[in-house]
Amino acid sequence: MAHPNLNEDARAVQKCTALCATEPMEKKADKNIIEAQHLSFDYMRYDDEGNVEGRIRAVNDVSLSVKPGEFIAILGQNGSGKSTFAKHINALLVPAEGTVVVDGKNTSDEANVWDVRQCAGMVFQNPDNQIIGQVVEEDVGFGPENMGVPTQEIWQRVEESLKAVGMYAYRKHSPNKLSGGQKQRVSIAGVLAMHPKCIVLDEPTAMLDPNGRKEVIRAARALNQVEGITILLITHYMEEVIYADRVFVMEKGGVVMTGTPREVFSQVERLQELRLDVPQVTLLAYELKKSGLDLPDGILTAEELTAELKKRYGSSV
């Protein structure tokens, strides 16, 4: 399903001819770019004197796979394990049990860490923790510079990446003068400049206002749909995931639901049991159906609800 506001962002991305120095990625290719098998991870619990007094299982026996070019959303309440899982994809954490393989490389092998992090870039919740440059274009070029990329190519990557997220006009600005959504798009550009195959967005809109959230999600969708970059979005905002290819719902460290957005959001009562919301229009359609209207499950957008009502009830809508 195409994003209704994607065209402007998509055109910007189409102008970028060398975003990915890696081999082209075919969407839904046979080979998985991410493969987690029976992944478990524990955090240590310490007493007041700093002694280990136990373990807290944050991720419990998670198995899932992601194909190149997919847009995956992972949902869950705070403490469900979704952000802990995300950190395994970038080898910030390694499994206590099980395995995580990224682009064919086991993240538990220290020799693979550099390659894993080049493949899977991460964008975190607070952009202020990820932006370190005094000027936008210098910040975006920081990663490629550390990778040893030649200077001329660095500036080419900076230009391409900022255009891809719609921030090229702000290249000479101080990040401190940008809005939250703009800062987060600069963070994405900084990751993009390192030419990853996959970008993990760990609750990237949690600190943003509604407009900022829309900016970031539109940029992520454009990169996914036009360049085929794999996107993993960790979030608890339901409206952000309706255009994902697949959704995983986590609770108490495990995956408890999986499917397309329509399949997942069709299960309103189950999501409510998990203390999760559903998109407002989905909830409205659900309540209308409960009141007796003939509507299908899993309506995701206002346009879709309007079309269904007109189809069934015609001019009376």
Q: Is residue 206 part of a domain?
A: yes
Quote the pLDDT of residue 27: 47
Give how far the C-alpha of residue 102 lies from the chain's centroid of Cα atoms, to the nearest Å: 16
Alpha helices, DSSP H, located in 58-177: 82-89, 113-119, 136-146, 151-164
Quote the pLDDT of residue 25: 44
Quote the pLDDT of residue 238: 87
Residue corresponding to tokens 């080979």? 31
- Report residue 183 as tokens: 């800062």
**Virtual torsion, Cα 206, 211, 212, 213, nearest 10 deg:** 50
* DSSP conformation class of 50: S
Q: Is residue 266 part of a domain?
A: yes
CATH of the domain at 38: 3.40.50.300
- Report residue 265 as tokens: 């959001």
Strand (E) or helix (H) holding 106: strand 105-106
Q: Which residues pair with 246 in a beta bridge?
A: 72
Q: What is the C-alpha separation between 228 and 231, in angstroms, rounded?
A: 9
Tens of pLDDT along the chain (317 residues) come to 444 444 444 344 333 333 433 344 444 456 899 999 999 999 988 888 778 888 899 999 999 999 999 999 999 988 899 999 999 999 999 999 999 999 999 999 999 999 999 899 999 888 888 888 899 999 999 888 888 889 999 999 999 889 888 899 999 999 989 998 899 889 999 998 988 999 999 988 888 888 888 888 888 898 899 889 999 999 888 888 999 999 999 999 999 999 999 999 999 999 999 999 888 999 999 999 999 898 999 999 999 999 999 888 775 55
Q: 284-302 burial, b if ≥16 CB within 10 A, otherwise e?
A: ebbebeeeeeebeebbbbe
Quote the pLDDT of residue 12: 41
Quote the pLDDT of residue 317: 54
Q: What is the C-alpha radius of gyration for the chain, rounded to an integer number of angstroms?
A: 21
Quote the pLDDT of residue 29: 52
CB contact set of 316 (below 8 Å; sequence gap of 6+) = none
Quote the pLDDT of residue 6: 43
Q: Is residue 312 part of a domain?
A: no
Q: How many residues does the chain have?
A: 317
Q: Is residue 289 part of a domain?
A: no
Q: Is residue 1 part of a domain?
A: no
Q: Is residue 147 part of a domain?
A: yes
Largest CA distance in the chain: 71
Report whether 140 contacts 186 (CB < 8 A): yes
Q: Is residue 305 part of a domain?
A: no
The residue range of the domain holding 24 is: 7-278
Q: What is the C-alpha separation between 157 and 282, in angstroms, rounded?
A: 40
Q: What is the C-alpha separation between 260 and 278, in angstroms, rounded?
A: 14
CB contact set of 72 (below 8 Å; sequence gap of 6+) = 66, 230, 231, 232, 233, 244, 245, 246, 247, 248
* Percent of the chain whose pLDDT exceeds 70: 90
Q: Is residue 207 part of a domain?
A: yes
Structural domain tally of the chain?
A: 1
